């Protein structure tokens, strides 16, 4: 077992590399899931606030393709900085 951990004397390098990989990959998963939870909570709050009629209308506009030109909400034809 200790030979396994020692990695022929290169323990620092091998385990650091695997450690970095683990941190990045697990970090990506955790970050994504946490963001999902937060946004879903926000969505639930907003849907609870909006009355039923407006909720259906808002849901319809969210389901519709966001790519139809001219209907992207809030965008002026030429947005200048």
Partner 1 sequence: MADAISAPNPSGGFWHRLANPARFQRLSAALMPWLVAATVGLFAAGLYYGLYASPIDYQQKDTVRIMYVHVPAAWLAMASYSTLAIAGFVLLVWRHPLADVAGAAAAPIGAGFTFMALVTGAVWGQPTWGTWWVWDARLTSVLILFFLFLGYIAIRNAFDERERAAKAAAILALVGAVNLPVIKFSVEWWNTLHQPASISRIGAPAIHPDMLRPLLLMAGAYLCLFAVLLLLRMRLELARRSVEALQLARAGAAQP
Partner 2 sequence: MRGFTATLRRDLLIARREGGEALLAVIFFVLGTVLFPLGVGPEAKLLAAVAAGLIWVMALLASLLALDRLFQADWRDGALELMALAPEPLTLVVAAKCLAHWLVTGLPMALAAPLMALLLNLPAAGWPTLIAALLLGGPALSLIGAVCAALIVGARRGGVLMTLLALPLYIPTLIFGAGAVQAAIGGYDASGHLALMAATTLASAALCPWAAAAALRQAME
When asked if residue 7 is in the footprint of partner 1 (CB under 8 A), the reply is yes
**What is the distance between the alpha carbons of residues 54 and 45, in angstroms, rounded to a whole number?**
14
**What is the distance between the alpha carbons of residues 44 and 62, in angstroms, rounded to a whole number?**
14
When asked if residue 48 is in the footprint of partner 1 (CB under 8 A), the reply is no
**Partner whose binding site includes residue 80, from partner 2, partner 1, none (CB under 5 to 8 Å by kind):** partner 2
Min dist. Cβ of residue 30 to partner 1 (A):
11
**What is the distance between the alpha carbons of residues 48 and 55, in angstroms, rounded to a whole number?**
9
Which parts of this chain interact with partner 1 (CB under 8 A)? 4, 7-10, 13-14, 16-18, 20-21, 24-25, 27-29, 32-33, 35-36, 39-40, 42-43, 46-47, 49-50, 54-55, 57-59, 61-69, 72-75, 79
């Amino acid at each position: 077992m200790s030979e396994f951990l020692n990695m022929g004397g290169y323990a620092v390098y091998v385990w650091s590399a695997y450690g970095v990989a683990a941190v990045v990959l697990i970090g990506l998963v955790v970050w994504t899931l946490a963001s999902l939870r937060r946004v879903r909570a926000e969505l639930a709050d907003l849907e609870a606030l909006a009355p039923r009629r407006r909720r259906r209308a808002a849901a319809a506009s969210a389901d519709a393709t966001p790519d139809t030109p001219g209907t992207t909400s809030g965008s002026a034809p030429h947005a200048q900085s």
